[in-house]
Amino acid sequence: MHELSLAEGLVAKCAELCRGRRVLAVRARCSAGIDAEELAAVFPVAAKQYPGGELENATFDLEVVPAHLECSCGWAGELPGDNVAGHIGICPGCGRPTELSGGLELLGLGYAGDAGPG
């Protein structure tokens, strides 16, 4: 359950940023190596578990960006979806499997009383 620990980390970061304000929306971006569907599914679980309850009703807006690979063979670029299997990317140049360093980035928080997130 790698995604759950990612979600918990994200929730902790949000809780730090919101400083007690009630969060209605969380926007984040993830890239390769992260199961976006799984992450979106476990985020509410992590949010509800977090003490304080600032995030218990927050919606989760996840933007998925393509995997990026720089291979030792010299190939570099965005990996086609067919070349990504879970946390492993297959280089289109040489076929070598490479572990992808997935990234999860917090983009912004929306609070109660705001017109909307952002």
Q: Which residues bind Zn ion (CB under 5 A)?
A: 71, 73, 75, 91, 93-94, 96
Q: At closest approach, how far in Å is the CB of 103 from Zn ion?
A: 20
Secondary structure of 35-58 in HEC code, one letter for each residue: CHHHHHHHHHHHHHHCCCCCCCCC
Q: At closest approach, how far in Å is the CB of 86 from Zn ion?
A: 18
Q: At closest approach, how far in Å is the CB of 100 from Zn ion?
A: 13
CB of 94 or CB of 112, closer to Zn ion: 94
Phi, psi of 85 (to 5 degrees): -130, 100
Q: At closest approach, how far in Å is the CB of 70 from Zn ion?
A: 9
CB of 95 or CB of 118, closer to Zn ion: 95
Task: Write out the H or E segment, with its range, that includes residue 10.
Answer: helix 2-18
Closest CA to 11 of 38, 49, 37, 41: 49
CB of 44 or CB of 92, closer to Zn ion: 92
CB of 50 or CB of 75, closer to Zn ion: 75
CB 95 within 8 A of CB 83: no
